[in-house]
Amino acid sequence: MERVPIAILACLVLTACADPKPDAPAATAPFSLAAAADETFESEPGIRLRYRQVGNGDPVVLLHGFTASLEAVAPLADSLALDHRVIALDQRGHGQSTVPSDTNAFGPEMAEDVVRLLDHLGVSRADLVGHSMGAVVSANVAARHPDRVASVSLIAPPFFADSVTAATELAPVVAELEGGGGFLAFFDRFAPEMPDSIRSVASAEMVSANDRAMLVGVMRTFPELSIGREGVSGVPVPATIVVGSIDTLRVEVRALAASWPGARYLEVEGADHVDVFWHPATLAAVRDQIDSPAERR
């Protein structure tokens, strides 16, 4: 029987901009995300986002998955910081960033937050590396702002063929959350093999650890964030797409890779939706992408 990722299965699904300035070098920074100082910026009125920076070199933005925070990307950040300026963001509603009061204020605004962060830092162009929801945010930025993105590395992206499919698949999840419930509908669809006793515990933990407005908001607006197969078909940004061989969404991830022009695709044998993020093969693929010569980008 295939092993089942449990608590972190939740990650499955999961700019009032200033004119870009020339890339500004970061000050001498630590090489540990845990040791880096918290910084914040106001992405839009009332929405303040936390981020940390480590290392020096070409800028790389790391984006975590659903219900996570920037601490979740620390191992990858610390490795890349050996020769890059790594910027890890708490996406809106997550970690220590502001939770919007309007549950519709997620979706594409999460991608605009990334562009506003680049503007705030004076970075004209960066490589983006995202896991799960963060991968979908990265793909959205690349599609809508290709001039700001050197490359994208999409790790376990929860991809849907189009927005209608995404809305249909997520409708029971949104309904349960809006009704005061948890993630049982989510597990029914994306992890049907998970034992009932484990599903109940995982669902309760996810609800208690996160703001319900964020949970509802991200799930409700996810179809607007996801750009679909047609949306990626004309994206000129180089992409590396990585998925675990036992990720329940791997079929659609393959379709994403086939639709994205020139994308490099890696399926990591035996990895699930979560542990693929820590796999050495994933790190090697990300490094190969962000360190590619200009003519390959």
Q: Residue 68: pLDDT above 90?
A: yes
Of 11-20, 90-99, 142-151, which range is least confident? 11-20
The confidence band for 11, taking pLDDT boundaries of 50, 70 and 90, is: very low
pLDDT for res 30? 60
State the average pLDDT over residues 32-54.
97
pLDDT for res 194? 78
Q: Residue 99: pLDDT above 90?
A: yes
What is the residue-wise DSSP string for the chain? Answer: ------GGGGGG----PPPPPPPPPPPS--S-GGGSPPEEEEEETTEEEEEEEE--SSEEEEE--TT--GGGGHHHHHHHTTTSEEEEE--TTSTTS---SSTTS-THHHHHHHHHHHHHHT-S-EEEEEETHHHHHHHHHHHH-GGGEEEEEEES----SSHHHHHHHHHHHHHHHHTT--SHHHHHHH-TTS-HHHHHHHHHHHHHHS-HHHHHHHHHHHHHH--HHHHHTT--S-EEEEEETT-TTHHHHHHHHHHSTT-EEEEETT--TTGGGG-HHHHHHHHHHHT--GGG-
Question: Percent of the chain, pLDDT > 70?
Answer: 89
**pTM recorded for the entire structure:** 0.89
Of 165-174, 242-251, 282-291, which range is least confident? 242-251
